[in-house]
Amino acid sequence: MCESKEILPSQRGLQLSSLNINKLTTHIYELRILLANNDVDIILSIIETKLNSNTSDDEVHIPGYEIIRHGRVKKMVGEGFASM
């Protein structure tokens, strides 16, 4: 059996991520640490953020990333979406 490093190319490509985080404000510190310790170029989406109009962008800011938020118009379970 081959080890993965023998199968994967030696050059690093673009690193993407998509995350399902139940209530982003509760897990923002964990996410900041995860991203600080890993080379992720683009986060395509974070779903089930449960962000609302009372949550400021500063509360969920991650250094080196830009946040684009889109909340649901109607109140629903798991509301909120953020792209960074």
Task: List Cβ neighbours of 28 (8 Å cut-off, separation of 6 or more).
Answer: 59, 60, 62
pLDDT, position 50: 85
pLDDT range class, residue 43, cuts 50, 70, 90: confident
Q: What is the mean pLDDT of residues 58-84?
A: 71
Helices (H), 1-84: 4-7, 24-37
- pTM equals 0.66
Which sequence spans correspond to the domains of the chain? 4-83
Q: Output phi, psi for 70, to 5 deg.
A: -145, 105
- How far apart, in whole angstroms, are the C-alpha atoms of residue 37 and residue 58? 21
Q: Are 17 and 42 in contact (CB under 8 A)?
A: yes
pLDDT, position 26: 92
pLDDT, position 4: 46
With residue 42 as reference, give the H or E element that holds it.
Answer: strand 42-47
